[in-house]
Amino acid sequence: MGQEIELKLDLAPQAAADFLASDLAASEPFILERRATYFDTPDADLRAAGFSLRIRNDAQGRVQIVKAVGASAASLFARPKWEQNVEGDKPVLDDTTPLKTFLGRRAEALEPLFEVVVERRRWSLAWEDARIEVALDRGDIVVGERRTPVCEIELELVEGPPSALFSYARTLDRVAPLRLGVLSKAERGYRLLGAAVRAVKAEPVALTPDMSVPGAFRIIADGCLKQFRLNEMLLEGGGEEAVHQARVALRRLRSALWVFKAVLEDDAFGHMKDELKWLAGALGEVRDLDVLIRRCKDEALRKVLADARETAFRAAAADLESPRARALMLDFADWLACGAWHGLVSARETREQPVSEFAASALDRLRRKVKKGGRDLVDLDDDARHEVRKDAKKLRYAAEFFGSLFDRKRQKRRHGRFLAALEPLQDQLGALNDAAAMPELLARLGLADDARKAFPSNAIDSRRDVIKAAADAHDALVDTKRFWR
């Protein structure tokens, strides 16, 4: 078994051509035509267990490769890997990998699912204090008549510090604009097997009590980064749901920074927090206009709003494609994997705390904020209710982050009830926030006089009822038993 540490980078075909024409690719590469067949059972048992199995065929022969994918990473892919030479196109399952024991009789059901056909250009170079293997892959993933293009660079660490991978990636980005890669070729193949998706929701967070506090944060943050990048890839079509889920991913990530602040506050923490706030804001007006368009009852005004939405979307897309946004993704992934926060002396006690205790304390703190902030909710002004709404969202995300740590039967029941109690509070506070923000947005668009005519069913006319429903939902949440105690 070996250990593979990679940084994946997605780039457009023109960017790949720019890289090949640059000084960074000045030396002659080693070129291979590669065809790899991926295998699994009809029930995708390997994928469900976090393994991939492929047989690669190139000029160097046939090699069977098993990887333990584990938790999906959006920063570094660090995975155990088992390789062996094979004679034919049928997997060989023996005691050199975990698959024989794991699959048992199900091994007989293994079948080829998809192929990856690429030209690989590979360079080996010294960079700073490391040796890096740079591989440019261009080709296709093929499932029957369906195919999706591959154009990516893999940076594999041969020796030295992982931070060198990010340093090289930044230099590369100045020559050939690139994006942080979050999917392995195996994951992309499985996605091609399924139905097309318009948006990607957050995956469940799998934490265990034996994890460290920093380890838990990395898993949570990796999941948020992956959700954002997957939805960013889907934004080209301008879909409302992809915009929404991209913003959800950034909100979840910013909430995770708040929850884990005690162990993260190194010199880069404030910059990361501010840049993520900027990136979330880039999509904010698009999302606000989506809400207005959905509620608007006047066809002529809907057309005006749709035009405004198109303009806002173009501006958001430009922000997401900017060097600033690309740098943020690389900088955050670097900070997540190699940042100074990992060794902060001031945070040592919290960092070494059992993760279940850390989670329970964080949930208690957030619950107290929501309980105190929502007291006398009927009498609060819009700004104060907005703060309660933000705290309730943080509590919701924290409950989702840490739910797997409290997995006894009673705790699972309480976890479901707690999330169910949070939902109506968030819905009612969200309706109030939309109603409060709508006049300002309409005024900015020069449409202030159209508010009541175009939005007869908005929360303005039923404000008292919505506030009362929010107050009732708050009281019900406070009475709901905590799943972490």
pLDDT (tens digit, 9 = 90+) per residue, 354-393? 999 999 999 999 999 999 999 999 999 999 999 999 999 9
Question: Can you tell me the mean pLDDT for 132-146?
Answer: 96
Q: What is the pLDDT of residue 236?
A: 85
Q: What is the pLDDT of residue 68?
A: 85
CB atoms inside a 10 Å sphere around CB 14: 11
Question: Can you tell me the mean pLDDT for 160-173?
Answer: 96
The pTM score is 0.93
Q: What is the pLDDT of residue 75?
A: 63
Give CA–CA dist 388/395, Å, rounded.
10
Q: What percent of the chain has pLDDT over 90?
A: 81
Q: What is the pLDDT of residue 111?
A: 96
pLDDT in tens, 183-202: 999 999 999 999 888 999 99
Give CA–CA dist 227/249, Å, rounded.
6
Which of the four pLDDT bands, split at 50, 70 and 90, describes residue 453? low
Give CA–CA dist 162/3, Å, rounded.
13
Question: Can you tell me the mean pLDDT for 261-276?
Answer: 98
**SS3 per residue for the chain:** CEEEEEEEEEECHHHHHHHHCCHHHCCCCEEEEEEEEEEECCCCHHHHHCEEEEEEEECCEEEEEEEECCCCCCCCEEEEEEEEECCCCCCCCCCCCCHHHHHHHHHHHCEEEEEEEEEEEEEEEEECCEEEEEEEEEEEEEECCEEEEEEEEEEEEEECCCHHHHHHHHHHHHHCCEEECCCCHHHHHHHHHCCCCCCCCCCCCCCCCCCCHHHHHHHHHHHHHHHHHHHHHCHHHCCHHHHHHHHHHHHHHHHHHHHCHHHHCCCCHHHHHHHHHHHHHHCHHHHHHHHHHHHCCCHHHHHHHHHHHHHHHHHHHHHHHCHHHHHHHHHHHHHHHHCHHHHCHHHHHHHCCCHHHHHHHHHHHHHHHHHHHCCCHHHCCHHHHHHHHHHHHHHHHHHHHHHHHCCCHHHHHHHHHHHHHHHHHHHHHHHHHHHHHHHHHHHHCCCHHHHHHHCCCCCCCCHHHHHHHHHHHHHHHHHCCCCCC
pLDDT in tens, 307-355: 999 999 999 999 999 999 999 999 999 999 999 999 999 999 999 999 9
Output the average pLDDT for the chain: 92
Of 134, 6, 135, give the one whose Cα is nearest residue 79.
Answer: 6
Tokens linked to 448: 């202030």
Q: What is the pLDDT of residue 440?
A: 82
Q: What is the pLDDT of residue 70?
A: 56
- For residues 60 and 268, the model is more confident at 268
**Is the model's pLDDT at 94 over the cut of 60?**
yes
Q: What is the pLDDT of residue 2?
A: 63
Which of the four pLDDT bands, split at 50, 70 and 90, describes residue 458? very low
Judged by average pLDDT, the poorest of 103-107, 157-161, 435-439 is 435-439
**Is the model's pLDDT at 158 over the cut of 60?**
yes
Which of the four pLDDT bands, split at 50, 70 and 90, describes residue 459? very low
Tokens linked to 296: 């608007």
CB atoms inside a 10 Å sphere around CB 65: 17
CB atoms inside a 10 Å sphere around CB 182: 25
Q: What is the pLDDT of residue 292?
A: 87
